[in-house]
Amino acid sequence: MKKSNLTLDSNIFEGYHVLDKQFDEVYLQQNKSRPHYQSLIIDFARHSLEDFRELNEYARDSFYNQGITFNVYSDKSKGVERIFPFDLFPRVIPFQEWQMIEKGLLQRNQAINLFLYDLYHDQKILKDKIVPSELILSCAFFNKHMIGIDPPGGIYVHIAGTDLIRHSDGDYYILEDNVRCPSGVSYVLSNRETMKRTLPNLFLDHSVQSVQEYPEELLNIMHSVAPKQSGDNPTCVILTPGAYNSAYYEHSFLALWMGIQLVEGRDLFVDKNFVYMKTIYGPKKVDIIYRRIDDDFLDPQVFRPDSVLGIPGIMQAYREGNVSILNAPGTGAADDKAVYIYMPEIIKYYLNETPILKNVPTYRCELDADYKYVIENMDKLVIKPVDESGGYGVVIGPNSTKEELEKLKKVVASNRRKYIAQPVMNLSMHSTYIDEDGSFSPRHVDLRTFCLMGKNRHYVLKGGLTRVALKKGSLIVNSSQGGGSKDTWITSN
Amino acid sequence: MLSRIGNSLFWTGRYIERAEHIARFTRVQYLSSLDAPLAQKKHYILESILDMVGYQFNKLIDENKLSEEEVLFFVCLDPNNPNSVIASINYARENVRGARDTVSSEFWEILNKYYHEINGYSHEEFLSEGPFDFSEMIYRNSSIVKGCIDNTHIHNDPWAILSMGLHLERAVQITRILIAKLNDIRKIEKGTKAQAIINYQIGALLKSTESFDMSRKYFKTIPSLINALDFLMLNVEFPKSLSFNLTHASIYLNKINLGNPLDRTTPEFRLEKIANKFKYLSVEEIEKNALGLLEETLNELYGIGAMIEKKYLSF
């Protein structure tokens, strides 16, 4: 049966308004859905809003009972647990469109790995003045202890969490390269699980690419970069800061799905430059560590001496090649938001290719001309610190008061290296069920992707985490600041 | 398995079992008091309940000015009382949260639901209804959780440590209940009603340990005090008896020890020794000084618990 475009006035999407000058992922125009959403809209229209409210409730309970929560720190002894809000209406990306994204992500992350190898060895790209030396040498995440170290397979970034947005021109742009400890993948897998529990029939009608192989692929990537002497069955662990960390659910989830041990710094120690974990039978050698703690906390002998999360001596063990660390220390030099500006040149320099995915035009406040432009146009720009993540420190000019911008100008002037500015990118919109209104409304979305790179192998998770800014008009999608998420479907034709 | 995880699982088993025993003891004592023969005033019942969770009645009442209902709330639902039922479940859940990569998702989800149910239990409802519905909820969840522990895990080290904690704690709780009830019986004044009150206390003892039905089936009569002690201390086939639990705790501890030689200073040796002691004791031997034997056993169990922690679970 041919499925026709559904009019909006006959179903749960009644009252949904496609906004002007915005790219709506679901609708081409008022009352007319995009072709790849048509059958999904017909399926959803079988439910009344009351049904949907109940389904939403069911999904929420499912997350709660599974303990899929993140911690919000409070003055009470135990952190407050919150559910990451989940919207049942999935985002759909057609397979052909996805293929382009996947190619672009692999290209970008391949170049980032070559760039990092170069930075910590010959620094040819600096000598050739493609990237300014002072930019790298002043980068807070450029790690001098990594100079001369050869990580297995030359891979520094094993897990990249590149953030993509779709602008109102319909094109995808890379917003950030998250190549330190990107999180969110557990929500991708849990969202899919909850979708299957809540609306199982949807999956019978649509051919959706699987996401559940991610943990196995990650384990394969870990094995591919094992130290030479670790043998056929290397011991892999995930290193977490502990149960009170906001991403602890993800750490334990990945360890469980990969069947490996989740350890804290206090479970590990270094002896004669080998890393061991303390088991009930005594010490057991550890070969590969997927660390989810920042560089600064890894080794109190080398980095922050007050770190109680890390393992004294681990950097020396790493230097000797006795343990592999994912991602390698020092990868933050590549996701500094000022270094981001040079990514198209970096791709061309190492791969001799044209970048597949676009960069958002970015102004480096450290450069005089850019700085002048930023100061004069701050009310039209988004200003970001180069070394923060999670949306922290981001100021959206058009949403700020004059006083706030004047204050910001002084802050930027006092440390120009620390700030970049970008035009306000109109993140695309997606129909989203809003609990308080009991109806669907357009909300801004982005896409966190997950790209794995190992020795002679790579993998891109099909889809990723579609994050939704639940607050009307908001562009901030981060979970810590009122964001939610959606299941992301890569569908075949 | 990491020592830290071993420690978490050991205590998870202990807390799950502890919560169930406190809830059951509280309910049985409370319900029994409603139709108790004379002299068994509420005061004594509350004293017995507090004794079981390690508080001195007079001290607590004087210091905190608690009403009877508030005492029950304090034992069951007060999160600030580290020995309450709710605190035990909160600790159990916190321990498993730190070991989620080791346990099954099913176990975690069931325990998490248990945690949310107890933390969502209404204070007002508890105060107005008493501990009946509350303890029903505890048994139901505890049974599901323990079924899940056994049926969703490989029966290897982590499961053995959890199970060992569970059996060791049950042995401790049964011992504490026996001591509390023997003390209650000792306080009964001689007189015409004395035997009726003793029978009532024996009934309360057996119900507090879920042994009421099975002990009658076993003895084919209403058990006497010595029958009850025989059943709860020496029966090798009944899962609530001391002998059964010590033997099982010893089996699981030896499973972790992987057959390494046991010298007299190891917890394996000490646990096996006390398990065998109960296996070969006669009812006549316990009759002479049951209370003394139980107090000695309790101290020994605490000592063994500390040795296990030192040998395997320190990190």
Q: How far is B315 from B310, CA to CA, in rounded Å?
A: 9
Q: How far is A465 from A40, CA to CA, in rounded Å?
A: 19
Half-sphere exposure of residue A396, counting CA atoms within 13 Å on the CB side?
10
Q: How far is B290 from B274, CA to CA, in rounded Å?
A: 15
Contact A261 B258 (CB under 8 A): no
Nearest CB partner across the interface for A280, out of B6, B94, B98: B6
Burial A278-301 (b: 16+ CB within 10 A, else e): bbbeeeeebbbbbbbbbbbbbbbe
- Going by C-alpha positions, the residue among A81, A143, A74 that lies closest to residue A319 is A143
Within 10 A of A184 (CB to CB), how many other CB atoms are there? 20
Q: Cα dist. A306→A301, A310, A311, B155 in Å?
A: 9, 10, 11, 40
Model pTM score: 0.85
Minimal CA separation from B46 to chain A, in Å: 30
Are A324 and A274 spatial neighbours (Cβ–Cβ below 8 Å)? no
All residues of chain B having their beta carbon less than 8 Å from the beta carbon of residue A264 are 4
Q: How far is B11 from B166, CA to CA, in rounded Å?
A: 8
Within 10 A of A104 (CB to CB), how many other CB atoms are there? 22
Nearest CB partner across the interface for A277, out of B2, B105, B108: B2
CA angle (A466 as vertex; A460, A468 as ends), nearest 5:
160
Are A291 and A239 spatial neighbours (Cβ–Cβ below 8 Å)? yes
Within 10 A of A3 (CB to CB), how many other CB atoms are there? 12
What one-letter code names the amino acid at A200?
A: P
State the count of interchain CB pairs (< 8 A) between A and B: 65
Reported as type and span, the H/E element at residue A93 is strand A86-94
- Going by C-alpha positions, the residue among A339, A352, A331 that lies closest to residue A126 is A339
Residuewise pLDDT in 10s, chain A (493 residues): 333 344 444 468 878 889 988 999 999 988 899 999 999 998 888 888 888 888 888 888 888 888 887 666 544 445 567 788 899 999 999 999 999 999 999 999 999 999 999 999 999 999 999 999 999 998 989 999 999 999 999 999 999 999 999 998 999 999 999 999 999 999 999 999 989 988 988 898 889 999 999 999 999 999 999 998 888 899 999 999 998 888 898 999 999 999 999 999 999 999 999 999 999 988 999 999 999 999 999 999 988 888 788 999 999 999 999 999 999 999 999 989 899 999 999 999 999 999 999 999 999 999 999 999 999 999 999 999 988 776 778 899 998 999 999 999 999 999 998 899 999 988 999 999 998 888 899 999 999 999 999 999 999 999 999 999 999 888 888 776 778 999 999 997 5
* Both tokens assigned to A194: 């909850």
All residues of chain A having their beta carbon less than 8 Å from the beta carbon of residue B112 are 65-67
All residues of chain A having their beta carbon less than 8 Å from the beta carbon of residue B307 are none
Q: Give the orientation angle of helix B157-186 with respect to helix B242-257, to 10 degrees.
A: 150
Minimal CA separation from B79 to chain A, in Å: 12
pLDDT digits (tens, 9 = 90+) for B148-175: 999 999 999 999 999 999 999 999 999 9
Please report the pLDDT score of residue A10 as a whole number. Answer: 46
Q: How far is B306 from B314, CA to CA, in rounded Å?
A: 10
**Looking at residue A205, what DSSP letter applies?**
H
All residues of chain A having their beta carbon less than 8 Å from the beta carbon of residue B94 are 78, 243
* Secondary-structure percent of chain B, ordered helix, strand, coil, rounded to 5: 75, 0, 25
- Going by C-alpha positions, the residue among A33, A341, A23 that lies closest to residue A171 is A23
Minimal CA separation from A197 to chain B, in Å: 15
Euclidean distance between the first and final Cα of chain B, in Å? 12
Q: In sequence order, which ranges of B130-261 are alpha helices (DSSP H)? A: 132-151, 157-186, 194-208, 212-219, 225-229, 242-257
* Both tokens assigned to B193: 């009603």
Minimal CA separation from A145 to chain B, in Å: 30
Q: How far is B92 from A40, CA to CA, in rounded Å?
A: 43
Q: How far is B206 from B240, CA to CA, in rounded Å?
A: 10
CB neighbour class for B95 (10 Å; exposed up to 12, middle 13-18, buried from 19): buried
Minimal CA separation from B171 to chain A, in Å: 24
DSSP lists the bridge partners of residue A159 as: A452
Please report the pLDDT score of residue A4 as a whole number. Answer: 38
Q: How far is A188 from A157, CA to CA, in rounded Å?
A: 20
Question: B100 CB near a chain A CB, below 8 Å?
Answer: yes
Euclidean distance between the first and final Cα of chain A, in Å? 16
What one-letter code names the amino acid at A450?
A: F
Q: How far is A486 from A466, CA to CA, in rounded Å?
A: 5
CB neighbour class for A394 (10 Å; exposed up to 12, middle 13-18, buried from 19): middle
Q: How far is A346 from A352, CA to CA, in rounded Å?
A: 9
**Looking at residue A475, what DSSP letter applies?**
-
Contact A279 B2 (CB under 8 A): yes
